[in-house]
Amino acid sequence: MEASAGLVAGSHNRNELVVIHNHEEPKPLKNLDGQVCEICGDQIGLTVEGDLFVACNECGFPACRPCYEYERREGSQNCPQCKTRYKRLRGSPRVEGDEDEEDIDDIEDEFNIDDGQDKQKQSAESTLYGKMSYGRGPEDDENGRFPPVIAGGHSRHVSGEFPVGENGLHKRVHQYASSEAGSERWDDKKEGGWRERMDDWKLQQGNLGPEPDDDPEMGMIDEARQPLSRKVPIASSKINPYRMVIVARLVILAVFLRYRLLNPVHDALGLWLTSVICEIWFAVSWILDQFPKWFPIDRETYLDRLSLRYEREGEPNMLAPVDVFVSTVDPMKEPPLVTSNTVLSILAMDYPVEKISCYVSDDGASMLTFDSLAETAEFARKWVPFCKKFSIEPRAPEMYFTLKIDYLKDKVQPTFVKERRAMKREYEEFKVRINALVAKASKAPIEGWIMPDGTPWPGNNTKDHPGMIQVFLGSNGGFDVEGHELPRLVYVSREKRPGFQHHKKAGAMNALVRVAGVLTNAPFMLNLDCDHYVNNSKAVREAMCFLMDPQIGKKVCYVQFPQRFDGIDRHDRYANRNTVFFDINMKGLDGIQGPVYVGTGCVFKRQALYGYEPPKGPKRPKMISCGCCPCFGRRRKSKHESNGDIASLGEGDKEHLMSEMNFEQKFGQSSIFVTSTLMEDGGVPPSSSPAVLLKEAIHVISCGYEDKTEWGTELGWIYGSITEDILTGFKMHCRGWRSIYCMPKRAAFKGSAPINLSDRLNQVLRWALGSVEIFFSRHSPLWYGYKGGKLKWLERFAYANTTIYPFTSIPLLAYCILPAICLLTDKFIMPPISTFASLFFIALFGSIIATGILELRWSGVSIEEWWRNEQFWVIGGISAHLFAVVQGLLKILAGIDTNFTVTSKATDDDDFGELYAFKWTTLLIPPTTVLIINIVGVVAGISDAINNGYQSWGPLFGKLFFSFWVIVHLYPFLKGLMGRQNRTPTIVVIWSILLASIFSLLWVRIDPFVMKTKGPDTSMCGINC
């Protein structure tokens, strides 16, 4: 299927498939009925089989054999029409470059043409429709059967079952990946092959020095053999004092809690017990959060070494292909212009165009998203060459043209200013067209949307529609204005039907994994939210420095980049940047087993998402006894004898076991997709035609495809929580994979964040609810993943903390109310302390301050960012986290589900205008109530001290400090309530005052936390005694 050939819509279950020509008709192939060469005008002639001679199998351009031979020998070796390199045809002499084509020799097969074709056809059919006994063999025709549009002519081999003998038996022939060092087969015909491999091995071991008359290029070769990245440990002068303070703080905390337990407050036991329980919970929470930061590290990458190793001049580019996934749901909350900028930045990345494929998932089946993507594909033909010609950053046009920087810096081309002005005008016209589409889509017609050719839009019913796929840009038809090839751009909307569970974003991502596995099957995948554009055009290269490193890449499941954001107010009132997490916690995890997956800005290894375990390195053999001598104990069974683990078997056993496994029960009923899962180096499986691939792609996004498979439980994005990212990364780490945290100097990706208070709280509510769901699921880090011991303990601490932190809201809410209670009742949570006991408090506060200062010192986080994080920890803890716990318990106990709402990515025209907008939500009530109660308590406490004289001021200071601690942490929330006009909505004031009044009246009536004292007996001395 060519690019822009039409929208393919259909349903596998209903046996429906239709092609809708929406924007333009497909370009027809040249007429092959003519017998005249369009180069020289002579007759084309026939082949030895009597068929018309066809020089180019891609477009069928009419050319005779002499012109074909001359173009291959003296010319550019490319077809004049489609610019595709001419393949060597039977009977043609070899030219430079043909050595890369694995083709059978003409002399050996000159008189067996029909037999060779039958063998090729039988091989392909056996691969696609065999009983899942798949391998890789050298006899596949690399170029004959791969679809030109989808595969792009750069696919790798995959073979199926090859018939052997007359009994119909099959055997599998495996071919080693050509990119792996030392993977060449022993070839007796290749002279010097063994000697060259031995010399390479000696050079790697350092036992063979360079020759005295060394080639000048040997320096570059040696540089290419160096590691592509390295760990940069934190300086010992920074990290050692930090660790010492952590240990000291742990000891001081233990002594402090012992003192608190052994010194109760007898006249306020309720207050004392509540505070002690809260403090113990805070201590446990601090341990889970602190100790995973024990081994923080930084990393460096070497992009020049990556190019020297995989992009050698005069050789084919060996960088691995990458499939990029962009997900969107509602174009009204996720504006099409934002999504278009993300797609444009992907298409313009600094990476070989034939190695990039961008898939956009429209889970809302919106015609607005489809039309805007078509406009984006057209604008990309102008935008991409402009970006690459002048090496601009960032490559999202909206961000580039709005940057207030000197755009002439480092620019030396005289035409840059003129072309920039022209491109800015083109982009403004593009924005107008997108805005027109948005305005048109604001009011849907009663009869539903109609496509330009008069066909009803298949997604008019967003909950009941077929699957849809459109290839907007491909290798045939996807060219920019300068004639260069563009990356592939594919629109995907999975099928939805009533009665099926679609699993929200996780289900959409799994559908993209399968579609990409059928169409392009790159070994690595980058997933981005629709509002996260590529800010660093070399971001994928940064990830490849880890994933393609021969030393560490084999066990890396994904490379996570930090999230960075645009459009946040200068003071970051609500800690939207989340700098403490991304610059401190994630660095600490990188030194253990790797960072957690945060949902976007992550490059995955496809094999890790498929549920495979990492390859196991060689182990030192252990002494085993025959069992006859009890001194040496009993012989234990090996792992593959007891469990049948594929990864631990030998090559022959592995092939046998894999041939017996039912891959259909694991991956689904698509033979083409199952074939692709066995290709570790990626590549497109062979197929009879591109139409078969697209039909199979429609099949794998059907709504019933995942039934009775392991999708969502062991494969792909894991279901069971609205924060599917945490679960997905957790499952990989439990299998023994490790992840990498990459922080390039220029941020890799940037996105938008909700700077409005209500939106921010709703976002935190969604994250916390997902954590609660994981806590009560079978995948809880508290009890899952112990088998095999592949998850490190400190990594488990971190995952446990991600699921437990919402429950901290309960003791935190109680602790924030305690100061007001102490001021209103004139009681305190602590007994009068001696001078010695006061040292415990001084030491505890000192260790807390020292830990924070030293943490900021080695991480580089500013004190303002750290303080904003502390403030929002309290604000979110007593609002969003509390509601998440309640909603999670309702879902688990009563089955009451909550709806997932997409955070709005729309921006306000006014600078930070959204910051001051107020949106009503019940999440605002608890913090407002706590704030009012503490303010009332402070007023009551000071009034009581004034009335009672000087002696009451001493005990008051501790209570006031406690209460001011709460008020200061809630200060950003108070500013958010006031808004720009310093006005608080009436409904918030009414609810908060009502709750505060009810609480105060109940307190006066019940007074539960204060010991009852016996007063005078009124029956004996009278009422006025």
Cα–Cα distance for residue pair 9/18, rounded to 1 Å:
5
Amino acid present at 324: V
Instruction: Give the C-alpha separation, 269 to 274, whole Å.
Output: 8
E strand map for 596-747 = 602-605, 738-741
Q: Distance (Å, rounded) from C-alpha 830 to C-alpha 955? A: 11
Between CA 126 and CA 168 the distance in angstroms is 12
Number of H helices, E strands in the chain: 36, 17
DSSP letters spanning 937-998:
HHHHHHHHHHHH-GGGHHHHHHHHHHHHHHHHHTHHHHHHHHTTTT---HHHHHHHHHHHHH
3-state SS, one letter per residue, for 988-1010:
HHHHHHHHHHHHHHHHHHHCCCC
Beta carbons within 10 angstroms of residue 98's beta carbon: 15
**β-strand 16-20 against 524-529: which pairing, if any?**
unpaired
* Residue at token pair 């952590």: 246
| Short-list 574, 572, 570, 582, CA closest to 875 | 574
Helix (H, G, I), strand (E, B) or coil at 589: helix
Q: Is beta strand 488-493 parallel, antiparallel or unpaired with respect to 356-362?
A: parallel
CB neighbours of 494 closer than 8 A, spacing ≥ 6? 361, 363, 467, 502, 507, 508, 511, 701, 702, 703
DSSP state of 323: E
Backbone angles phi, psi at 296, to 5 degrees: -70, 145
Per-residue b or e along 823-840, where b marks 16 or more CB atoms closer than 10 Å to that residue's CB: bbbbbbbbeeeeeeeeeb
Query: Nearest to residue 734, comparing CAs of 803, 776, 770, 787?
Result: 787
Amino acid at 935: I
Question: What's the DSSP call for residue 580?
Answer: H
- Is cis: bond before 394, omega within 30 of 0? yes
- Number of alpha carbons in the 13 Å side-chain half-sphere of residue 48: 10
What is the rounded distance in angstroms from the CA atom of residue 537 to the CA atom of residue 771? 33
Rounded Cα–Cα distance for residues 340 and 396 (Å): 9
Q: Which of 363, 480, 566, 759 is catalytic?
A: 363
Angle value at C-alpha 466, between 462 and 471, nearest 5 degrees: 105
φ and ψ at 357, to 5 degrees?
-135, 125
Distance CA 783, CA 776 (A): 10
What is the Cα–Cα distance from 717 to 504, expressed in whole angstroms? Answer: 11
Neighbouring C-beta atoms of residue 886, cutoff 10 Å: 13
Whether 725 is catalytic: yes
**Which entry of 529, 572, 681, 725 is annotated as an active-site residue?**
725
Picking from 66, 147, 140, 51, the residue whose alpha carbon sits closest to that of residue 102 is: 140
Catalytic residues: 363, 725
